[in-house]
């Protein structure tokens, strides 16, 4: 479903505000560097999934079963599960350690981790104000 003209104008204004607020991030997103990381992440997840599948089948086929439990198969399943998590959470590298992880810890860094939050709050506050004004103009 295509966007209406009003929605397209709003998106353009949000994009220009993003460029004004954080040009480095905006150029990174627009430049496509994130797409290559996603492709690489998919390849890593696929390789891990295949490795886990091999371990799963090998654990059943091999006679190494301490206590009658196929430990190698369990390890293969865990590796396959990890590959699925890696595929789903591919943007952050290590789950739990992403961009939010560094910002969520106050007191780290020279600005105490609060400088980015203030900027982000200012940007979102301005966008909310603009949205409210436009919404009031339409009604």
Give the 3-state secondary structure of 32-100: CHHHHHHHHHHHHHHHHHHHHHHHHHHHHHCCCCHHHCCHHHHHHHHHHHHHHHHHHCHHHCECCECHH
| Residue 5 confidence (pLDDT) | 87
Q: Is 32 exposed, middle or buried (0-12, 13-18, 19+ CB in 10 A)?
A: exposed
Q: Give the residues across from 94 on adjacent strands.
A: 97
Mean pLDDT, the chain, integer? 75
Average pLDDT over residues 131-137: 83
Whether the per-residue pLDDT at 97 is higher than 80: the answer is no
Q: What are phi and psi of 98, to 5 degrees?
A: -125, -155
Using alpha carbons only, give the angle 129, 135, 136 rounded to the nearest 5 degrees. Answer: 90
Higher pLDDT, 33 or 44: 44
- Positive or negative CA dihedral for 64, 67, 73, 75? negative
Name the residue with tokens 């301490």.
66
Q: Are 76 and 110 within 8 A, CB to CB?
A: no
| Residue 32 confidence (pLDDT) | 53
């Amino acid at each position: 479903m295509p966007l209406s003209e009003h929605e397209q104008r709003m998106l353009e204004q949000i994009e220009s505000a993003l460029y004004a607020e954080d040009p480095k991030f905006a150029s990174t997103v627009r430049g496509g560097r994130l797409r290559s990381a996603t492709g690489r992440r998919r390849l890593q997840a696929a390789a891990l999934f295949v490795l886990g599948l091999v371990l799963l089948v090998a654990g059943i086929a091999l006679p190494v079963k301490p206590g009658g439990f196929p430990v190698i198969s369990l390890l293969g399943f865990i590796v396959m599960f990890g590959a699925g998590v890696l595929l789903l959470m591919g943007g952050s590298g290590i789950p739990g350690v992403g961009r939010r992880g560094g910002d969520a810890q106050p007191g780290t860094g020279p600005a105490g981790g609060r400088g980015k939050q203030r900027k982000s709050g200012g940007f979102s506050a301005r966008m909310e104000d603009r949205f409210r004004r436009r919404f009031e103009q339409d009604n």
